[in-house]
Amino acid sequence: MSENPVFRVENIEFGYNSEPALIVDELDFQENRIHVLLGPNGSGKTTLMKLLNLLLPLEKGRILFEGRDVSRNRALREHTVYLHQNPLLLTGTVYDNIAYGLKIRKQPGYEIRDKVMEALEVVGLEGFEKRRHNALSGGEIQRVAIARALVLRPKVILFDEPTSSIDRENVRRFEKLLPSIRDLYGTTILVSTHNLPFAYRICDRLVHLDEGRVVPAGENILPGRMVPGEKDERLFVSDGVSIHCPDLEGDFTKAVVDYDRIILSREPLHSSARNTFPGTIEAITPVKNREQAHPLMDVAVKVEGLSLTSRVTGDSCEELGLSPGSRVFVSFKASTVRLY
């Protein structure tokens, strides 16, 4: 079991009209992190989110919240808030909307006012409290809905496709808002999306869903920043490791390298690959893939503070004599690094 999972999903199955929509054997969501559920329409993202918020009745399996089985315990809703793809505001003012959850919890008026004003400030909507629900743009509606959730101080906020109905500027604003919510309130955040660049930019962890199943991750997502290197080139630095990457303009915060683009060798390679680092194998895990005839292995290699995973065949693994603790070299071309 992973460390400190706020949610743990075990053997859940859910379907619509006897058609299976979601089958998950095991999935953890660690606390105080931004988890992104990535997948195309119909991959089961919304279903999973609604099951976690008990908006859908769990048919099979169980959901643990902080270690307790809450599969049918509606008290869970005190700790989680689900935000729709296009959030709905109640008829009334922005203040009425944000205060609603506190009012039904019968909190004192002065406390409600303080929390509403604080939440408005966090989402950047100071002075909007008297605005009517129908006098707001799509991005403002979303921020009011976020503030409405924040005042309840939930342990988990579930965002369902939050970028689908807002413009690029509001997407950027949202991307900055999420880490500040996580850091300010220690909130665990789950976001579903089919927007790949958005997912890479915001995630602490990415969960791929396809046709209602969790599919193995296939990319290293490295947080970091761009720094000037030698000879006018720019490097991406992640956990103290400088990575050669395409020379693109922009403030990128994530570099992505697919597992199958990373080559493992016992000796340093003399090749065109600009990135070659020595490292130590941390773990070797077989890839769970139903369609794969030959077994594949994910080999996690520790390179200074950075963990890089390479996907190799079982045969390669055997031929190279790879095992946890082995010293290896990881190599990949600068052009295989994608920046977000």
Partner 1 sequence: MGSIFAEALRLIVSGDREVFFIAFTSLRLALASTFFASLLSIPLGIALHFGRIPFKRPIISVLSALMAVPTVVIGLLVFSVLSRSGPLGGLNLLFTPGAIIIGQVFLVLPVLISLVYSGLSRMDPRFHETLITLGARRGDVLKASIIEARFIIISAVLAGFARVVGEVGVSMMLGGNIRWYTRTMTTSIALETSKGQFELGISLGMILLAIALGINIITHSLVKNDV
Q: Binders of partner 1 among 53-92, rule CB under 8 A?
A: 53, 55, 77-78, 80-84, 86-88, 90-91
Name which of 153 and 176 has its Cβ closer to partner 1. Answer: 153
Name which of 106 and 290 has its Cβ closer to partner 1. Answer: 106
Name which of 98 and 262 has its Cβ closer to partner 1. Answer: 98
- In the complex, the smallest distance separating the C-beta of residue 61 from partner 1, rounded to whole angstroms, is 21
Residues in the chain: 340
**Cα dist. 314→230, 298, 330 in Å?**
39, 9, 17
Strand order in the sheet with 254-258: 219-223, 254-258, 338-339
Name which of 156 and 226 has its Cβ closer to partner 1. Answer: 156
Contacts 24+ apart (CB under 8 A), 85-90: 85/46, 85/160, 85/161, 85/162, 85/164, 85/165, 86/138, 86/141, 86/164, 86/165, 87/141, 87/142, 87/144, 87/145, 88/145, 89/133, 89/136, 89/141, 89/144, 89/145, 90/133
Name which of 62 and 77 has its Cβ closer to partner 1. Answer: 77
Given a contact cutoff of 8 angstroms between Cβ atoms, the answer to whether 275 and 260 are in contact is no
- In the complex, the smallest distance separating the C-beta of residue 207 from partner 1, rounded to whole angstroms, is 21
Can you tell me which of 3, 17, 19, 104 binds partner 1, judged by CB under 8 A? Answer: 104
Q: Binders of partner 1 among 180-209, rule CB under 8 A?
A: none
Can you tell me which of 100, 185, 329, 340 binds partner 1, judged by CB under 8 A? Answer: 100
- In the complex, the smallest distance separating the C-beta of residue 148 from partner 1, rounded to whole angstroms, is 7
Name which of 89 and 221 has its Cβ closer to partner 1. Answer: 89
- Concatenate the DSSP letters of all residues of 193-238 into one string: ES-HHHHHHH-SEEEEEETTEEE---EEEEE-EEEE-STT-EEEEE
Size of the site for partner 1 (CB under 8 A): 22
Given a contact cutoff of 8 angstroms between Cβ atoms, the answer to whether 10 and 62 are in contact is yes
How far is Cα 51 from Cα 54, in angstroms, rounded to an integer? 5
Burial annotation 216-227 (CB, 10 A radius, 16+ → b, else e): ebbbbbbebebe
166 contributes a contact to partner 1 by CB under 8 A: no
- In the complex, the smallest distance separating the C-beta of residue 100 from partner 1, rounded to whole angstroms, is 6
Name which of 56 and 334 has its Cβ closer to partner 1. Answer: 56
Q: Binders of partner 1 among 145-164, rule CB under 8 A?
A: 148-149, 152
- In the complex, the smallest distance separating the C-beta of residue 101 from partner 1, rounded to whole angstroms, is 4
Contact residues: partner 1, CB under 8 A:
53, 55, 77-78, 80-84, 86-88, 90-91, 100-101, 104-105, 134, 148-149, 152
